[in-house]
Structure 1
Amino acid sequence: MAEGPDRPVGPRPGGRRLVPVLKIFYATDVHGSETTFRKWLNAAKHYGADVLVMGGDLTGKMLVPVVQEADGSWTARFEGSVVRVEDERELQNLEKAIRTRGYYVQRMTPEERAAIQTPEQVDELFHRHIAQVLESWVALADERLDAAKTPAFWMPGNDDHQFVDEYVNRSKAIRNVDGQVVEIDGYYLLSIGNANVTPWNCPRDVSEEVLAAKIDELAQQVPDMSRCIFNVHAPPWGSNLDLAPELDEDFKPTMEAGGLKMVPVGSTAVLEAIRKYQPLLSLHGHIHECSAGIRIGRTLCINTGSEYHEGVLRGALILLDPKKGVKNFALTVG
């Protein structure tokens, strides 16, 4: 059956491999999870990928204080409950669980906890942890990856503060490609980490008009759209790659018969750009609930989704053939 516009598609059956075929491994939205980031670094070896792409939202969402009590135990408010541990081994296990969820953790005395009174103090401590983790990730990447053998690319997403660029730009092994067009073996990676405005007014949220202008500006740098890969954090609106729970005025999910009410929250600018330019491939994240591939016209669009909080890396392995275009793809869970 022919694949019409906007028709959901799955991985195509494999056949005889043609050379050269470029294997791209894409993942996104690790949100500070050390476990998922390490899995992404290992993906080239695990999946035999030639290129690694990380699609945005690198940093965590929360700092969890772990407070030492008078009796020597430690307590933390984690996952909606107060957790108490009695010794160093239990404390380290708790800290590991917190970090796996993508949260940052800080040991404190009661006096240190009480001294943090203002939003500015909270932000300063939170930003310090973001910087420390990114520094450790850069060091790990530069130790594990050889950019000459496995080109690797990342970018901040809409959740990532502006100062994050300072740290991701330091890596020798992973290139920050936000706002750039980069050539990879004859293909053109067009990358934008911004997203359309969300209810939370995230650091890199922008209007649809601004997002459209950013895409148009970069598109002018692409000599051949049939060999272009959009790496745009926000998924296209109404594509089934952008379904998220509808929120009420208190930012709580709304319910309907059978469960959560899901609504499209993607970008109209991204949708129109894909329809207008028809790149070979369009890679997205941002909406964690969606993991699928669809076609918008000739363009294969993928959102891998994200389960960073479970330490699970969702990804996509895409095979690009110089004659056939997208030869095959598979959504991965690991």
Structure 2
Amino acid sequence: MTRILFVTDVHGSEYVFRKFLNAIPIYKADVGILLGDLAGKLLVPIVKNPDNTYVSTFFGGTYKFKEKELDDVKKRISIAGYYPIIVTKEELDEIERNPELKDRLFVENIKARLRSWIKLAEERLKGKNVKIFISAGNDDPLEIEEVLNESDFVINVGMKKVWVDEHHEMITLPYSNPTPWNTPREVPEEKLEEMIEDLVKKIENMENAIFNFHVPPYDSGLDLAPKLSKDLTPSVSEMIPVGSVAVRKAIEKYQPMMGLHGHIHESKGFCNIGRTICFNPGSEYGEGILKGVLIDIERGKVKGYSFVSG
């Protein structure tokens, strides 16, 4: 039997990633899978004043503090998945005037945090008979691929087939169907179907296969999100399916052993599509909460599963 800890949509949260690493030995998992979205949402400038005090606006408030409090403030910002940067007032003005500079700083901070995560995973788990698989999601800039490919322990599985154990193959799709947010890795359903078909060709035994696809299948219960108004305001009462038709079609057609999905934070759960059992552990990264699912697999079978939170 192989035990998998599956987590998704950490969005830059230092706490959630560290909890993911800590949970692997606690739950005696053989495999840890982290399926996008890895990047946080925004930069948070911390302005250094001439009198060596600092001021920053985050979580709906503006705070002024002294240098001895700086590390604590940076930690609070990082827990939520944001990227604190120390700047002068003049540097901040330049960043605000220059969108290209802002974008470059954002990507540099995403890559730096991701590189630190991979180093931490190697320090804590390398040599302990554990496999760690990682992939981007639709929110992640393409530039992070170079960081994901740097390690020989934390394996980048995006658009690849890997062996989870000696019996189970896994293909990974780090893209999604279109969203209202115009994220870096979203493509039309027709293109998504082509990408899935190219991946499926690599599978040797579909009965034992795992589809590790960031976006969940359409109308599966794993893809329910608040309906948006024309100005993108989310409804507080109406949920609609927003998953991928191409992903659903592929699961119905090929009937792999298991589907692993994320993308829709509100839709924690599981469903069956024919013989395939699909999971979405959900995400509460903004609160620093780890949401995951432990899955025990044997040859061609899901023997048991348990949703975990910490």
After TM superposition, is the score higher than 0.5? yes
Distance 1:94 1:246 in 2: 35
The answer to whether structure 1 residue 151 and structure 2 residue 127 are counterparts is no
Equivalent residue for 2:290, pick from 308, 313, 333 = 313
Q: Retained in 2: the 8 A contact 1:141–1:171?
A: no
Equivalent residue for 2:85, pick from 86, 106, 121 = 106
Structure 2: any 5+ residue segments left out of the alignment? none
Pairwise CA distance, 1:233 = 0.1
Alpha-carbon displacement from aligned partner over 1:173-232 (angstroms, at most 9, x marks no partner): 210011111122210111010011111111000111111111111112212111001100
Pairwise CA distance, 1:260 = 3.1
Pairwise CA distance, 1:322 = 2.2
Q: Retained in 2: the 8 A contact 1:316–1:330?
A: yes
- Evaluate the alpha carbon distance shift between residue 102 and residue 227 of structure 1 in structure 2; reply closer, same or farther with a 3 A threshold: same
* 1:181 paired residue number: 161
Q: What letter is aligned with 1:199?
A: P
Q: Helix, strand or coil: the match of 1:42?
A: helix
* 1:17 paired residue number: none
* 2:307 paired residue number: 331
Equivalent residue for 1:127, pick from 107, 115, 123 = 107
Q: Helix, strand or coil: the match of 2:100?
A: helix
Q: What letter is aligned with 2:68?
A: R
Distance 1:318 1:286 in 2: 19
Equivalent residue for 2:140, pick from 160, 180, 196 = 160
* 2:238 paired residue number: 261
The answer to whether structure 1 residue 276 and structure 2 residue 253 are counterparts is yes
% identical equivalent positions:
44
Tell me whether 227-236 or 31-40 shows the greater mean CA deviation: 31-40
The answer to whether structure 1 residue 225 and structure 2 residue 191 are counterparts is no
* 2:28 paired residue number: 48
Number of equivalenced pairs: 308
Q: TM-score, normalised by structure 2?
A: 0.96
Q: Which structure features the higher share of helix residues?
A: 2
Distance 1:122 1:67 in 2: 15
Q: Retained in 2: the 8 A contact 1:147–1:172?
A: no
Distance 2:111 2:303 in 1: 39
Alpha-carbon displacement from aligned partner over 1:33-67 (angstroms, at most 9, x marks no partner): 11111111222201000111111111111000011
Pairwise CA distance, 1:115 = 1.8
Pairwise CA distance, 1:243 = 0.8
Pairwise CA distance, 1:81 = 2.1
Distance 1:68 1:151 in 2: 42
Tell me whether 279-288 or 91-100 shows the greater mean CA deviation: 91-100
RMSD between aligned alpha carbons? 1.4
The answer to whether structure 1 residue 204 and structure 2 residue 185 are counterparts is yes
Alignment of 1:290-309 (within 5 A): 290-309=267-286
Q: What letter is aligned with 1:23?
A: R
Q: What letter is aligned with 1:308?
A: Y
Distance 1:105 1:92 in 2: 10
Tell me whether 153-162 or 115-124 shows the greater mean CA deviation: 115-124
Structure 1 stretches of at least 4 aligned residues deviating more than 4 Å after TM superposition: none
Tell me whether 141-150 or 123-132 shows the greater mean CA deviation: 141-150
Distance 2:39 2:12 in 1: 4
Distance 1:247 1:278 in 2: 32
Distance 2:168 2:298 in 1: 11
* 1:141 paired residue number: 121
* 1:6 paired residue number: none
Q: Helix, strand or coil: the match of 2:142?
A: coil
Alpha-carbon displacement from aligned partner over 1:259-304 (angstroms, at most 9, x marks no partner): 3321111101111111111111100000111110111111111001
Equivalent residue for 1:286, pick from 236, 242, 263 = 263
Q: What letter is aligned with 2:22?
A: N
The answer to whether structure 1 residue 97 and structure 2 residue 83 are counterparts is no
Distance 1:244 1:71 in 2: 47
Structure 1: any 5+ residue segments left out of the alignment? 1-20
Distance 2:5 2:218 in 1: 24
Alignment of 1:3-18 (within 5 A): none
